Amino acid sequence: MPRVWLVLAVIAVALTIFTIVDVILTDRSRARGVPKAVWVLIAVIPVVGAILWFAVGRVPAQAAAPTYIAPDDDAAFLRDLATKEDQDERIRRLEKELADLDDDPPVDDQK
């Protein structure tokens, strides 16, 4: 029986240390409810602190991740796309003007 208690105590200590490290390394924006310093104090409570941190205090990574929208739904992307099309059209026009200038015979100013 003492071995069981020893194993449970080691697991409790490991879980507490893991929880404290996780609280410290977690971004402030992902801590729910109270400040991170309070969560560190809560995490010191063996087993109960870990359960509270993982069940209540920590926002899951996928919930904290920004949401992405498709490019065709993004107004900024579409605005930028229109600007790029305008720039491409201007470049084509300038290239055509340069090509037309190259086709003209040189003008001799020394007559």
Task: Residue 24: give the domain boundaries.
Answer: 2-64
Residues 21 and 60 in one domain: yes
Do 7 and 59 share a domain, yes or no?
yes
Maximum average pLDDT range among 5-14, 32-41, 55-64, 90-99: 5-14
User: Domains in the chain: how many in total?
Assistant: 2
Residues 49 and 9 in one domain: yes
Q: Is residue 110 part of a domain?
A: no
Is position 79 within any domain? Answer: yes
Higher pLDDT, 63 or 17: 17
Give per-residue pLDDT as tens, 47-93: 999 999 999 988 776 655 566 777 777 777 777 777 878 888 889 99
Do residues 59 and 76 both lie within one domain?
A: no
Give me the mean pLDDT over the 3-15 stretch: 94
83, 58: one domain? no
CA gap 44, 40 in Å, rounded: 6
Averaged pLDDT of the chain: 84
| Domain shared by 6 and 57, yes or no | yes
Structure token pair of residue 83: 């600007």
Treating both helix axes as pointing N-terminal to C-terminal, what angle do 2-25 and 36-43 enclose, rounded to 10 degrees?
170
**pTM of the predicted model as reported, rounded to 2 decimal places:** 0.54
